[in-house]
Amino acid sequence: MNALSTLDRSLGRAVRRAARAVPGGLGAAQMVASAMSPAFRLAVAAMIARPGTRGVGLRCLGAGVAAGVVARLLRDRLSRPRPGHRPEGGFPSRHAAAAVAIALAASRGEPRIGRALVLGAALGLTARVAAAEHDPADIVAGVALGVASARAVEIAAAARAARSNGALA
């Protein structure tokens, strides 16, 4: 292992030790890690269902799906082992990619919802490290992918709006 990988694995172990040191900490981390994906799906569905936030919700959906698909393709290609017992690779984290893409896309049109989702992503992604679903580098790579996905959707939405307004030739 190279030095960065060794540091990454050491940081992940330290987070897991800290979670185990708190009574009920590991169980709480596992619960939060498991609840993250359904909570984000529900938030996106609620935004899409509500007419006032439908456009933002659709951008969140696009950003989250794009980030998750790319993360899955990379993860399957790279096959970096997870710290826990799951056999599939964990780098980059699909949960991190999708959650960050959704939170940032929401922040652009619905800042209050976006802030809540950013907080939820931070808690959920930390919990995924504590629950041995990922090491920190998996999360960091997923976050970067989520940022890129949200930005790509933002650019595409702006271009579409400009075309609709006749601003582009």
Number of domains the chain is built from: 1
Angle formed at CA 150 by CA 107 and CA 130, multiple of 5 degrees? 80
58 occurs within a structural domain: yes
Question: For the ranges 38-47, 53-62, 124-133, 158-167, which has the lowest average pLDDT?
Answer: 158-167
Per-residue pLDDT tens over the stretch 134-153: 999 999 999 999 999 999 99
> In which domain, by residue range, is 155 found?
3-164
Asked if residue 169 belongs to a domain, the reply is no
Give a yes or no: residue 86 inside a domain: yes
Rounded CA-CA distance 110/99 in Å is 15
Question: What CATH number is associated with residue 53?
Answer: 1.20.144.10
One-character DSSP codes across the chain = --HHHHHHHHHHHHHHHHHHHSTTHHHHHHHHHHHHHHHHHHHHHHHHHSGGGHHHHHHHHHHHHHHHHHHHHHHHHH-PPPSSS-SS--SS-HHHHHHHHHHHHHHHH-HHHHHHHHHHHHHHHHHHHHTTS--HHHHHHHHHHHHHHHHHHHHHHHHHHHHHTT---
115, part of any domain:
yes
pTM for this predicted structure: 0.90
- pLDDT at 157 exceeding the cut of 90: no
Lowest mean pLDDT among 20-29, 35-44, 82-91, 101-110: 82-91
Distance CA 53, CA 36 (A): 21
What average pLDDT does range 59-82 have in this prediction? 93
Q: What is the pLDDT of residue 89?
A: 84
Residue 92 lies in a domain: yes
Instruction: Supply the pLDDT for residue 1.
Output: 59
- Computed over every residue of the chain, the mean pLDDT equals 92
pLDDT tens-digit readout, 77-126: 998 888 878 888 889 999 999 999 999 999 999 999 999 999 999 999 99
